[in-house]
Structure 1
Amino acid sequence: MRALIQRVSHASVTVDGERISEIGPGLLILICAMDGDTEAQADHLAAKIAKLRIFKDEAGKMNKSVRDIGGAALVVSQFTLAADTSRGNRPGFSTAAAPDEGNRLYEYFADRIAAEGVPTQKGRFGADMKVELLNDGPVTIWMEA
């Protein structure tokens, strides 16, 4: 699985003009299931992200996790994280999981983040989503499991 994590002051998802989810301080997690990914990889990634110390402590150092600050997660499926740009000018996405499996692992991952004690909101798999965020820092981290 691939994830792009952004520390945010707030973030939201809108579909067809309706805001379907939003969070205050926390993490926007763009997630992509790759072909052959398993629940074990989703478990590992969720546990790692929940513990990732990228929030400032009292001394201004990145030393606190999203759980430590009482933050939330907004989990958004993004198959374009599977983009292969090695040939030509049009990215290929053949390494992404098939839609049914991608959706299953996306839902599983979101459930695992919540099980790690992080209040969790989601986007809508396969929808044309408008994602708004205020990146805090900015802090943006790429992770794979």
Structure 2
Amino acid sequence: MKTNKFLAILLLATTLIWTVGCQKISSIDEENETAQIMQQKILGYWNLAELIEETKTGNEPPVIINNDPQNVYFEFFANGKGKTNAEGEEEFSYEVKANNILILWDNEQQIIELTDHKLTFKNTATQGNTTYTQTYFLTR
């Protein structure tokens, strides 16, 4: 009788471990697939249509600078490299991660929108009592 209970518990535990393990692998696979799809959408030439810089210090109202860039581009290549003329001809590395994260200039950018014709991302940094946010609006 004890042997039967032991075998039943062992079988249940094995099934549970196998199920949880497969779910974790499946989640990782889904995240990788999502990142690959996003990577494919980002590839190519983009025009910087707008750049908004916001600075907020304490409880003061934010200071917002709405830049209207002229002829600024970003180009993303399949090898994880990119190029921009935002500050001269500059090559950079980038990485697309799941959860709408773009690593650009060694900084985490939050992807707000990504379609065939629009790419919007932003980054936020805090120093002391001041928060800086940059939002990039790119189009094809």
Q: TM-score, normalised by structure 1?
A: 0.25
Structure showing greater Rg: 2
- Greater relative contact order structure (CA < 8 Å, 6+ sep): 1
Q: TM-score, normalised by structure 2?
A: 0.25
Select the structure that is richer in helix.
Answer: 2
